[in-house]
Amino acid sequence: MPTVRLLAMPGSARRGSWNRRLLGVLVRGAEQAGAEVTLYEPHDHVMPLYDGDLEAAEGIPPAAARLQALFAEHHGLLLATPEYNGFFPPLVKNTFDWLSRPLPDGSGKPGTVHVRGKPAGIVAASPGALGGIRSLQHTRQYLSNLGFLVVPDQVGVPKADTAFDAEGELHDARVRTSVEAVGAAVARLALKIAAG
């Protein structure tokens, strides 16, 4: 049986983000299903705002090239993202916009060559009553446009400011199980794809 490796990304740069906590639950579900998970930390891969003139002058930033390489080494994506005014945050958009740019090897292939056909799982946490569900619609469409196979299940956690305990665990066992199930679904689909 092949080893499945997933890349886990918080959609927030804030260290104390509710979505970082939620990502931990998502990761646990994937690991329980047999996946190995690598955390992608935005603080370690800072990228400038996408600018075509900058790309023409300097090529893609080293952090974007590293992200392309990371996706080449991984079988799928776990993403927990906040909702900003009904949409996913600029950090997510900018990160994946840079990812999509041509590979630095001169082949002319887009960076999305390393994500096409790979599964992704998406969850969101928000202090509002809808739990980020509006942003998940846009996140699903955006990732699908890049070539990811976004698993059908997704979870929005409302009232995120009171949803977690001091250790970062979700209070509601039913919601916790649902988030873990999204991670497990990504791991299982990645395993099927890797096994051929």
The yes-or-no verdict on residue 1 having pLDDT over 80 is no
CA dist 44 → 83, 101, 160 (Å): 22, 20, 26
pLDDT in tens, 115-154: 999 999 999 999 999 999 999 999 999 999 999 999 999 9
> What pTM does this model have?
0.96
Contact 194, 4 (CB under 8 A): yes
Q: What is the pLDDT of residue 43?
A: 84
Contact 133, 159 (CB under 8 A): no
pLDDT in tens, 51-62: 999 999 999 999
- Each domain of the chain, given as residue ranges in start order, spans 5-195
* Mean pLDDT value across the chain: 96
Q: What is the pLDDT of residue 84?
A: 93
Architecture field, domain 5-195: 3-Layer(aba) Sandwich (3.40)
Of the pLDDT bands very low, low, confident and very high (cuts 50, 70, 90), residue 174 is very high
Q: What is the pLDDT of residue 76?
A: 98
**Which token pair is 87?**
């949409």
Total residue count of the chain as it appears in this document: 196
The yes-or-no verdict on residue 85 having pLDDT over 80 is yes
Q: What mean pLDDT do residues 30-48 have? A: 95
Name the nearest CA neighbour of 11 among 105, 84, 107, 106: 84
